[in-house]
Structure 1
Amino acid sequence: MDIRGIDHIELFVGDARQAAFYFDRAVGFQLLGQGGPETGLADQRSLLLSQGDVRMVLTTGLTAGHPASRYVQRHGDGVAVVALEVDDAAGAYAELVRRGAAGVTPPTTRTGADTEVVTAEVGGFGDVRHRLVSRHGDRGEFLPGAIEMIPSDGGGKLLAEIDHLAVCVPPGQLDETVRHYRDVFGFAEIFTEHVEVAGQAMNSTVVQSGSGRVTLVLLEPDRSRRPGQLDAFLDQHVGAGVQHLGLRTDDIVTAVAALAERGVRFAGTPASYYDALEARVGPVDAPLERLRDLGVLVDRDHGGQLLQIFTESMHVRRTLFLELIERRGARTFGSGNIKALYEAKERELAAAGTTVAAPTPQEVRA
């Protein structure tokens, strides 16, 4: 079974039009298609948006019993489906169920004038499903007969693709989730670490498809330490889910400046973080003052540097947020910034002569 990449993600939201307005006006996505009862999507309204190679479906249930309505009631707005591109959706579904995946929706075929799309769904983590998608023929149609396409150039080009999804699971479930993706989906473990700072701790394991195009950063809080942002996510989201979407950009400085001008709010970074930046990661091929103004973070691994920044959550429960990431050879995910941000905040407090309780990483970023 060859998992080629992420075909699309689907968010279940309370108001698809309102969510689309934010992703369009603020983040630079563009409407590609829409569907609802009039196109055979019973009891729901779905909007298809795109930017670069990122395709996103926003779905709102129109009745209380619709799965999207139940999801939003329990979790709030969030990623409900991570769709995987495969050669043969029907064959992949059968193979995954044989390996132990929970079958959710058996294979369904939709045909258009010049295209055929086969989909099926299996369980993933928490209430998040994986939709298996195989496409044949003209790829201009997303879901023939269900999503009516709208002429579009695909929106802005600030964001290139989905780099990774960060998934938070309850304490004690990390190893089980890793085994599930390894044994059922054939993913490989490529990175693991234990992060401890300011009395908080978390475990992290990164799993990746054989193609290298689907990456899940699996996170678990260590509840033997004091609560932090992962605990807050699990409480507000009510269980496992996608904590943030990592969106790769080829030029993070331009992207952050453009999105900030459109109204996207980014997590703050202490000014003193940049005082020790080049001593920690080496020379950065970007003006430090510009990085300081925008709040862009920098980390390094054996492959090179990465630049990253996190948005504030746009949701009322303060759960799902976005990460913009530019890779300059680095293959990891910036864990060095957690400690660096904490130490920068400590220097600021010491310089001001302030004695207060140590901040959590979430408080540092806020």
Structure 2
Amino acid sequence: MDISTVDHVEFQVGDIEATARLLCTGYGFGPLGEGELQGQRSVLLGQGGIRVLLTAGPTGYVRRHGDGLATIALRTSDAAAAYAEAVTRGAHPVAPPAAWRRDDSVVVTATVGGPGALSHRFVERRGDGFLPGGIAETGEPPAGPLLEIDHAALCVPDGDLGPTVRYYEEVFGFKQIFSERVEIGGSAMESMVVQSPSGAVTFTIVAPDPVRRSGQLDDFLRANDGAGVQHLALSTADITESVASLKASGVRFLSTPDSYYEGIKSRLGAIGRPVEALRAGGILVDRDHWGEMFQIFTESPFERRTFFFELIERHGALTFGSNNIRALYEAKERSRAAAEARA
């Protein structure tokens, strides 16, 4: 199965206008078109190489899961063959192959199920257009601060981590490339990373440890009513400038304590950004055998406080900031505690 990259992602939302306004005003996306798909209104947004489809979620979906990332579309050279192969390997069929046509342009799509309510849409493209005859395109993507989709993080219940990893290995041909356990106070989480043979599609799969104290992953699973996409990582060329720009536009990020920055030089030595610039933006830094990376996580923009975004800048690093997973977990726990105090 030749999965090359993430073609687009689709959010199911209760209020398209409000979500589009949030992503355009806050995150720098631009409107590219709109149409009606399977009887539901959809709006296409873009920025750099990122394409986001917003669909007016069916009442049952939004009532059960809230607004969230419902579909990660995978680019392939033959969508019908990929669909047939995935179903043969055990994937749940969601939508059979369908062709979208206009003039000489043809896009073939077919969809199978993933963890929880997540689905994966195979996309085969020949010619121009996002979904010819389905989405009427009206604009070009702006040159904003965000470039590409780096990876997605999927949260699954305890006991589903291993089976979910095997599902991606057996159905899609992904390989497990990393695993880690993180303990924070009385809580703990397990994570495994799977990646497509092309190296361009990466999923971090996380699960809570039920023996330890309930934490933010348990909160996600309750609010989302099961497994789903916890966050989507978007790459940027200059994270300090991007964070400053997004903050000025109203985007809120998780906080990082000053103590984190006091230990950077002793832990990593010289890094490619001034420590004070990272401190000012609340940006995290890590290094692996191949290089360094910078990352930061937003607060959830949705009512149920489930899904959120990550910004990431890589300089050769191939991993996912394993030394920062603890910092993220601690930041989410602080945010969780603050929300409980306000309630």
Fold agreement, TM-score > 0.5: yes
Residue 69 of structure 2 aligns to a residue whose secondary structure is strand
Assess, with a 3 A threshold, how the Cα gap between structure 1 residues 278 and 322 changes in structure 2: closer, same or farther. same
Determine the C-alpha separation between the residues in 2 that align with 1:340 and 1:23.
26
Deviation at 1:79, TM superposition (A): 0.7
Determine the C-alpha separation between the residues in 2 that align with 1:78 and 1:226.
26
Residue 247 of structure 1 aligns to a residue whose secondary structure is strand
Determine the C-alpha separation between the residues in 2 that align with 1:228 and 1:278.
30
Determine the C-alpha separation between the residues in 1 that align with 2:278 and 2:258.
10
Deviation at 1:287, TM superposition (A): 1.6
Aligned ranges 1:58-137 → 2 under 5 Å: 58-61=54-57, 68-137=58-127
Aligned twin of 2:218: 231
Determine the C-alpha separation between the residues in 2 that align with 1:42 and 1:179.
31
Contact 2:107–2:132 under 8 Å retained in 1: yes
- The number of equivalent residue pairs is 339
Assess, with a 3 A threshold, how the Cα gap between structure 1 residues 56 and 288 changes in structure 2: closer, same or farther. same
Determine the C-alpha separation between the residues in 1 that align with 2:277 and 2:88.
52
Contact 1:251–1:326 under 8 Å retained in 2: yes
Aligned twin of 2:41: 45
Aligned twin of 1:349: none
CA offset digits 1:89-136 (Å, max 9, x no partner) = 011111111111111111001111120010111111111111111011
Aligned twin of 1:286: 273
**Aligned residues: percent identity?**
53
Aligned twin of 1:348: none
Residue 259 of structure 2 aligns to a residue whose secondary structure is helix
Assess, with a 3 A threshold, how the Cα gap between structure 1 residues 238 and 83 changes in structure 2: closer, same or farther. same
Deviation at 1:271, TM superposition (A): 1.6
1:142 aligns with 2:130: yes
Assess, with a 3 A threshold, how the Cα gap between structure 1 residues 258 and 99 changes in structure 2: closer, same or farther. same
- Give the ranges of 4+ consecutive aligned residues of structure 1 lying more than 6 Å apart after TM superposition: none
1:241 aligns with 2:228: yes
Determine the C-alpha separation between the residues in 2 that align with 1:23 and 1:360.
25
Deviation at 1:194, TM superposition (A): 1.2
Residue 95 of structure 1 aligns to a residue whose secondary structure is helix
Output the amino acid matched with 1:219. V
1:360 aligns with 2:333: yes
CA offset digits 1:254-311 (Å, max 9, x no partner) = 1111111111011111122111111112211112111111100111222221100000
Deviation at 1:199, TM superposition (A): 1.9
Assess, with a 3 A threshold, how the Cα gap between structure 1 residues 28 and 342 changes in structure 2: closer, same or farther. closer
Aligned ranges 1:333-344 → 2 under 5 Å: 333-339=320-326
Deviation at 1:337, TM superposition (A): 2.1
Aligned twin of 1:32: 32
Determine the C-alpha separation between the residues in 2 that align with 1:156 and 1:231.
37
Aligned twin of 1:316: 303
Q: Which moved more, 1:282-291 or 1:203-212?
A: 282-291
Deviation at 1:151, TM superposition (A): 2.6
Aligned twin of 1:21: 21
Deviation at 1:329, TM superposition (A): 1.8
Quote the RMSD (CA, aligned, Å).
Answer: 1.8
Give the unaligned 5+ runs of structure 2. none
Residue 57 of structure 1 aligns to a residue whose secondary structure is strand
Determine the C-alpha separation between the residues in 2 that align with 1:84 and 1:364.
37
Residue 160 of structure 1 aligns to a residue whose secondary structure is strand
Give the unaligned 5+ runs of structure 1. 62-67, 346-358
Aligned twin of 1:2: 2
Deviation at 1:342, TM superposition (A): 8.3
Aligned twin of 2:260: 273
Determine the C-alpha separation between the residues in 1 that align with 2:219 and 2:119.
23
Output the amino acid matched with 2:258. A
Q: TM-score, normalised by structure 2?
A: 0.95
Aligned twin of 1:190: 177
Aligned twin of 1:54: 50
Determine the C-alpha separation between the residues in 2 that align with 1:219 and 1:293.
29
Q: Which moved more, 1:270-279 or 1:16-25?
A: 270-279
Assess, with a 3 A threshold, how the Cα gap between structure 1 residues 160 and 8 changes in structure 2: closer, same or farther. same
Determine the C-alpha separation between the residues in 1 that align with 2:250 and 2:90.
44
1:251 aligns with 2:233: no
CA offset digits 1:192-212 (Å, max 9, x no partner) = 111112121111110000101
Assess, with a 3 A threshold, how the Cα gap between structure 1 residues 365 and 168 changes in structure 2: closer, same or farther. farther
Determine the C-alpha separation between the residues in 2 that align with 1:244 and 1:339.
16
Output the amino acid matched with 1:121. T
CA offset digits 1:32-72 (Å, max 9, x no partner) = 01013xxxx353110000011110000004xxxxxx32211
